[in-house]
Amino acid sequence: MKEDRREYLAEWMQGMNPDTKGKLKLAKRNLATGTWYYIKEPLEGHNRHKWVALGTQDKATANRIFTEASSKLEYGDTELGTMINMNIAKLDRETRNRTWQDVQDSFCRDGLAPRTLATYKSNWYGHDDFMPIAKLKIIGTTTTQLVELYNQLGPCKQRHMRTIYNHASKRGWLITPNLVTMSDWQATQKSIGGNTASISEADHYGVIAEIEKWQEKWGQIGCPLLDGKVDKATHWMARACKHEHLQLKYFLEILWELGCSNMDGRQLTCDNINWDTGHVVFRRQKWSRNGKQDRLRQAIYFPMSQKLKDILRPLYQKAISQDEGKRYLLPDLVKKQSGNVTRTWQAYMKRAKRSLTRMDEDGIERKLCLHSYRYRMAEYLYELGYSEREAKLLMGHNSKEIHWAYAKSTRMEVMALDKKAAQMDKTNVIKVEPASKMVA
């Protein structure tokens, strides 16, 4: 059944004179293409009828539409009106069979960046979280089913679900436009960054000390992350990758001073270092589109501290001497998967007797990961007195909500009022007269 036929029937039912509803008759007509069902609507002041084509040859479907059309209840946004729209849509084979899996597939074909596409596929298929609705037909989905699933998902997958829902709405695939309202989403929406804590100074320097400790002993016992007896082959393999663990130390120091993400830190090159202005200039890799920069956010110009300069300078001098390639500052870590780097860091955390979780002041236990370095930097910027706009630019956050999720545990120092007043230059203060005197 065509789209214009569904719209015509919906408009006809809603605009019908209530007095004529009890006079409607269901009829069928034998045409060259077969037997089709119609509704005969009497015309006022005439002995004639208006033939309203239902666009179906199925008797059960025709009876259902006739029953709803002849009902004297108001349609509009009522539950019955919703049922009418659903039943009309069932006449369309494509609409009748469309599932939420089809919506997901359609969204993934909508020109997403490779990294974004991988994220959405991982969310959809990972841990089978979306299985309850994947094969569920859209026209048969209830608000309760969507809200209950939404409540069980984490913040990232909740955002994925809202994106898929909005995609179906924009394509006109939802029978009821407000199947899930904004208040329904907000009632069970979970905050971004709610499971991750910022890394502490003790955690960071504890791992750095542990790496330095095992770097000195490496030639004697082999890889420090291998427990138990180490055979000769493993021993030599461990010695061969000693420099990779040393680069992990440099990498963690960069994260501590720069507050970048795992991927952005490992992919820094000589081109990202501007010694003339004293900035590390880079763009967030997560916003790339097929390797192009048409969808990248503006570049981050992060001012280098003296300690960051001391960390980067020997790495820069070694990388700039290369004759070809991208001249990565951490060439060994670029080849590694993010998960492998994270697991190595976790192993050093355990050897340093540092916990991978932390109980925050709100009573919630949160995890520590490499991304915790970004949380720490967001909090540190506010502790140093940077404004919200400055902190957002330095972190590369695109929204205020995400930015404040990272800085949720900030402890800012506010100067006492008398000390703040004492710092003010009284000669530059403009006195404002009370409103009563200004009127007079």
Highest mean pLDDT among 21-35, 287-301, 307-321, 350-364: 307-321
- Contacts (Cβ under 8 Å, ≥6 apart) of 295: 113, 287, 288, 289
Specify the higher pLDDT residue, 319 or 97. 319
Summarize pLDDT for 223-250 with one digit per residue, the tens: 655 555 555 444 444 555 788 889 999 9
- Mean pLDDT confidence for 358-365: 81
Is domain 99-187 in CATH 1.10.150, yes or no?
Answer: yes
Stretch among 41-55, 61-75, 318-332, 340-354 having the lowest mean pLDDT: 61-75
Classify residue 314 by burial, with Cβ atoms within 10 Å: 0-12, 13-18, 19+: exposed
Q: Specify the CATH number of the domain 194-440.
A: 1.10.443.10
Is the full-model pTM beyond 0.75?
no
**In the predicted model, what is the mean pLDDT of residues 112-121?**
76
- Cβ neighbours of residue 244 under 8 Å, at least 6 residues apart? 332, 333, 336
**Structural domain spans, the chain:** 3-96, 99-187, 194-440
Predicted confidence at residue 85, as pLDDT, reads: 60
